[in-house]
């Protein structure tokens, strides 16, 4: 158990809908990262927050957005969902902003029907 928690574990929704994935980092960690794992694209970095501020952006679609709250938990919002958004979404956390090991949560499996 890495200490990173994600909810929900599974999510099934229809095309066009909007969902929110939640991540609580390990105690004391200031950075949160979001990754998407799909059969087509593999494991891809989406976005990083450090202490409430966006730090780095990867291959994140405009339909997706994220934020990190003052208590350091983070939410990933996915809207206008398409079938291709079906994937496993991982959150990871680290103590600092760069150069620190990232610890991965259990993931949220999103299925878009």
Residues in contact with other proteins by CB under 8 A are: 2, 31, 33, 35, 42-45, 48, 55-56, 58, 88, 90, 94, 97-107, 109
Shortest spacing between CB 101 and other proteins, in angstroms: 6
Closer of 2 and 51 to other proteins (Cβ):
2
> How far lies 100's CA from each of 23, 89, 103, 112, in Å?
18, 21, 10, 34
Q: Are strands 108-112 and 5-7 parallel, antiparallel or unpaired?
A: unpaired
Closer of 48 and 68 to other proteins (Cβ):
48
Shortest spacing between CB 77 and other proteins, in angstroms: 20
Shortest spacing between CB 80 and other proteins, in angstroms: 25
Instruction: Give the C-alpha separation, 14 to 28, whole Å.
Output: 36
Closer of 69 and 100 to other proteins (Cβ):
100
Shortest spacing between CB 16 and other proteins, in angstroms: 27
* Residue 60 DSSP class: -
Closer of 79 and 108 to other proteins (Cβ):
108
Strands annotated E in 25-79: 31-38, 42-50, 53-57, 64-68, 74-78
CB burial of residue 113 (10 Å; 0-12, 13-18, 19+) = exposed
């Amino acid at each position: 158990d890495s200490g990173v928690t994600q909810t929900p574990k599974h999510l099934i929704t229809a095309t066009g809908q909007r969902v929110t994935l939640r991540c609580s980092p390990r105690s004391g960690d200031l950075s949160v990262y979001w990754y998407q794992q799909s059969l087509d694209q593999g494991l891809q970095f989406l976005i990083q927050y450090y202490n409430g501020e966006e730090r780095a952006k990867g291959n994140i679609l405009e339909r997706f957005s994220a934020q990190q709250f003052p208590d350091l938990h983070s939410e990933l919002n996915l809207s206008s969902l398409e079938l291709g958004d079906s994937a496993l979404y991982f959150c990871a956390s680290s103590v600092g902003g760069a150069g620190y090991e990232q610890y991965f949560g259990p993931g949220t499996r999103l299925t878009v029907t």
